[in-house]
Structure 1
Amino acid sequence: MLGLIAKPRRRALIVALAFLFLGGALAAFYFLSPHAVLRLTTGPEGGQAHRFVEAFIKVAEAQHPRIRIKPVVVNNLRDSSKALEQGKVDLAIIRSDVRLPANGEILVILRRDALAFVVPHHSDISSLADLSGKTIALPTGPAQEDNSHALDILLSYYNIVPDKVKRLFLAAADIGAAIERKKAAAALAVGPVGPGDVVETVASIAHATHGAPKILDFDDADAIVKRFPIFESYDVPQGGFHARPDVPDDSVTTLAVNYRFAVSIAMPDIVANAIGRSILAAKAQMMNLSPLAGQIEAPDTSDQNPLLPIHPGFADYLNNGDQSFFDQAQRYLYIVGIPLSVGVSLFTLLFSTWSARGARKDRDALRRLIALAGEAEAADRARLESLEHELHAAVAASIDASGNQAEQWKTSLAVQHAMRRFEQRRAALSATPGPEAAKSEIGPPHSS
């Protein structure tokens, strides 16, 4: 009886242990697996983009403890775009006028930097067309070559060969003295309305020339933007670059470039959605670490001709709100759920087939035990010995085949029934003398 019950219990125990092991493995994978890592370019070290990224990493990792952002330092903004194209990073900071990545799509606009052409208060320069044959000073820094390239593009709009305008790279604090000594006629500083190169350059010129400098006004800004979409028309408010005296003394229209977070077009929609939402949600916290975070904004989804398209996963959220995010999640659940459902169905089918096969074995074993009991009732000694060998084999087969408790009980009854029939037949054969014993009782025949 113990043998009959132990086998199915062992089988059930093995199945239970298998599921327990699977559950434990999944739990261990969830809790012990390494954090997700997102690689992000930081821009040139020491630049404003680098400082902003440091602030973003602190806030993002505090909000998402299981996500680790790995900063990847690049030499310049061109290398940042290249790293995204080559798959070396997941997110990259790019600038609208510097080598856009071929595989890039944007999430958010980080900030806009005005291209401020600054001239002393006594200068007769009123347009970029007046810069031909003159020298222009640019603040030194990680983006100085990119700023110089932007100047080349604008000069080409006025049909000025770039070589006709010399460049002088100086620290922002030294540009005023260079202009006062006639070493440069104007300055080009690129930066936000707020702390940065433009404010420092304006202050330097104002101090050296003892007067409030002027910011060139682009009356043709819209025409330039139409020809070179890498720029934007940008209105600088009165006093945007200097409070006392106001610089500019009235609002002026200039041009701007923008910095953006770009991701690969291969990034899953739900991931891009989550990153974009996190950046917008963390804006207030990042402002405590970097004032530039206050300029973060979502891109314009109505723009029909963007330099780079918005990633569709984040665009859905911007157009449709939270519901779109859940729809994206639901699509991924379907992707996972359908194969899982098919797998469960296949497992159920295999388990049912295996159970049906086991039930057939149970029935065959029961039939054989009953048949052996019937054959034993009329068997002679020789046949009974042969049937006993078959009985042992049938009992062993029935033990292997027994599955659930009901089948075990039936098998136990059948075994007991067969063994009683064999014992009864052995007793009957022992009570009946065999042929040899009968002959010895009659004795040898008498001779006549």
Structure 2
Amino acid sequence: MFGPFAKPRVLAVLVAALFLAAGAALLVAYIWKPHATLRITIGPEGSQSYRFISAFIKVTEAQHPRIKFATVTTPSLLDSAKALEQGKADLAVIRSDVPLPANGETLVILRHDALAIITPHHSSISGVPDLVGKTIAFVTGPAQSDNSRAFDLLLSYYNIAPDKVKREFMAVEDIGPAIERKQVAAAFAVGPAGPGEVVQTVAAIAKATKGAPKVLNFDDAEAIVKRFPVLESFDAPKGSFDSRPAVPDDDITTLGVNYRFAVPITMLDIVADAIGRSILTTKAQLMNVAPMAGQIEVPDVNDQNPLLPIHPGFAAYLNNGDQSFFDQAERYLYLFGIPLSVGASVLTLLVGMFNARTSKKDREAVEHLLTIAHEATTADRERLEALESELHQAVADCVGKPNDAEKGAEQWRTQLAMQHAMRRFERRNAALNAEGAKTSPRGDQPSPNEAATLSPTDSR
């Protein structure tokens, strides 16, 4: 009657205590050992990206000993974005014009690069439409396919099919001689306003042609950016790519892309905050190893339509400044507390359902005993023997299982019902024996069959 759970309320308390202990253990572990091992994408060895990531890892691990990095080598920026999207990396360098990871969010913008179309000083090319039917040189390297894809965006804006402009991929030092031999008409390079691919390409062309190259100006840059938000307007002041002679020879506007650190949206706020702050506070140290770190900047937290949203953990720091650990960990306490609260509520509901079902069984047992007692009042000898057998079974069901001290009321009613039924059996047996004595030929002894009948009290 009482089932296998002898003390359901005690069990509920024990399980609830277990939930609380587990939550407390997780909280203590989180407070005292907040560490993380993060997988970060890194470009081919020797590349500018490789040098920067190597420096970043060294500086960040020194700043935060409980943050460790495991590098994930990717041959291209596209592969870097895919690694983040596929869950193979926790931190990746991505470029805005490369297909962005669907699960990515921004920490910081690393730098802005210009998309520069460079022509020799004597060239008649003044715009992208003038490139139709000509051959353009591209610098070989890990980003050559990404650069070619960005060039296709420019062509598509002017409704020029990609196959209308031929491409030659070559080492940067070979571009100048190729232009001098008229093997190519211009060069397309992607790089910052400083040491990088654009500056190297300008220098190679200037050396071979004995004149200051030109960089095409995009008067319609804003219109192009509106159509292709993955690009951005890039202002190149006079002399951005060479100072003697100045290239460009006046302030121009071209197009550009940006590089950024991206993290998955599932990254804990406290981890994203730690990494983002580390980048900003160690920027000077990073510049000593990787000069490109000087261009690191934070994204605009007020941008209502960002290309890749800023991670909320780092955004909270940018908006509110330093917070205590418990302020940062507050949402994780909620994450622990809500499941524990729901689990306790569900447990309480289950215990209540169990108690209700057990109480119903107890009431049914009492009613069964009372029914047996009532019927025994008028039963004949044969029916009484059957009822007595049924009573023995009911008593065995009630008494043969562990008592539950917390169910005293139900147990007391059941015992009263058993005693009432047994007294009815005793009285009926006595009545039947008395009637048998009056009708017996000898008038003094019950028959052997009657003597063999045991009362419930004797059977106990």
Q: Is the 8 A contact 1:316 1:325 kept in 2?
A: no
Deviates more, 1:219-228 or 1:327-336: 327-336
Distance 1:249 1:158 in 2: 26
Matched, 1:138 2:138: yes
CA gap of 1:233–1:31, structure 2 versus 1, over 3 A, is closer
1:156 counterpart residue number: 156
TM alignment of 1:36-435, pairs within 5 A: 36-323=36-323, 327-333=327-333, 335=335
Q: Is the 8 A contact 1:190 1:198 kept in 2?
A: yes
CA deviation map 1:251-300 (0-9, x unaligned): 11111111111111111222111211111111111001100000110001
CA gap of 1:325–1:33, structure 2 versus 1, over 3 A, is closer
CA deviation map 1:230-262 (0-9, x unaligned): 111011111111111011111111111111111
Distance 1:261 1:152 in 2: 25
Q: Alignment partner of 1:78: what SS?
A: helix
Q: Alignment partner of 1:322: what SS?
A: coil
Which residue identity does 2:243 align to in structure 1?
Answer: A
Distance 2:228 2:38 in 1: 33
Q: CA deviation at 1:331?
A: 3.1
Which residue identity does 1:169 align to in structure 2?
Answer: F
Distance 1:96 1:44 in 2: 20
CA gap of 1:270–1:182, structure 2 versus 1, over 3 A, is same
1:363 counterpart residue number: none
Distance 1:130 1:255 in 2: 17
Q: Is the 8 A contact 1:233 1:253 kept in 2?
A: yes
Identity within the alignment, %: 71
Q: Is the 8 A contact 1:115 1:191 kept in 2?
A: yes
CA deviation map 1:42-76 (0-9, x unaligned): 13433222211011011001111222111110111
Q: CA deviation at 1:209?
A: 0.7
Which residue identity does 2:300 align to in structure 1?
Answer: D
1:424 counterpart residue number: none
Q: CA deviation at 1:36?
A: 2.8
Q: Is the 8 A contact 1:273 1:325 kept in 2?
A: no
CA gap of 1:256–1:342, structure 2 versus 1, over 3 A, is closer
Q: Is the 8 A contact 1:43 1:73 kept in 2?
A: yes
Q: CA deviation at 1:163?
A: 0.3
CA deviation map 1:388-415 (0-9, x unaligned): xxxxxxxxxxxxxxxxxxxxxxxxxxxx
CA gap of 1:342–1:85, structure 2 versus 1, over 3 A, is closer
1:421 counterpart residue number: none
CA gap of 1:229–1:76, structure 2 versus 1, over 3 A, is same
CA deviation map 1:146-200 (0-9, x unaligned): 1011101110101111101000111111101100111111101101111111111
CA deviation map 1:283-322 (0-9, x unaligned): 1110011000001100011222211111111112222222
Which residue identity does 1:329 align to in structure 2?
Answer: A
Distance 1:120 1:331 in 2: 59
Which residue identity does 1:266 align to in structure 2?
Answer: T
Distance 1:270 1:264 in 2: 13
Which residue identity does 1:257 align to in structure 2?
Answer: V
How many pairs are equivalent?
321
CA gap of 1:105–1:210, structure 2 versus 1, over 3 A, is same
Q: Is the 8 A contact 1:316 1:324 kept in 2?
A: no
Which residue identity does 1:190 align to in structure 2?
Answer: V
Distance 1:96 1:211 in 2: 33
Q: Alignment partner of 1:288: what SS?
A: helix
Distance 1:127 1:147 in 2: 18
CA gap of 1:233–1:342, structure 2 versus 1, over 3 A, is closer
Q: Alignment partner of 1:54: what SS?
A: helix
Distance 1:206 1:43 in 2: 30
Q: Tell me, which stretches of 5 or more residues in structure 2 are unaligned?
A: 1-21, 344-460
Q: CA deviation at 1:335?
A: 4.8
Which residue identity does 2:275 align to in structure 1?
Answer: I
Distance 1:307 1:324 in 2: 30
Which residue identity does 1:202 align to in structure 2?
Answer: V
2:401 counterpart residue number: none
Q: Alignment partner of 1:183: what SS?
A: coil
Distance 1:240 1:326 in 2: 47
CA root-mean-square deviation: 2.8
Distance 2:288 2:264 in 1: 29
TM-score by length of 1: 0.67
Q: Alignment partner of 1:56: what SS?
A: helix
Q: Tell me, which stretches of 5 or more residues in structure 1 are unaligned?
A: 1-21, 344-448
CA deviation map 1:16-64 (0-9, x unaligned): xxxxxx9xx99x9899989631100013433222211011011001111
Deviates more, 1:327-336 or 1:284-293: 327-336
Distance 1:338 1:266 in 2: 19
Q: CA deviation at 1:326?
A: 5.8
Distance 1:167 1:79 in 2: 23
Q: Alignment partner of 2:58: what SS?
A: helix
Distance 1:158 1:257 in 2: 19
TM-score by length of 2: 0.65
Distance 2:201 2:216 in 1: 14
CA gap of 1:183–1:278, structure 2 versus 1, over 3 A, is same
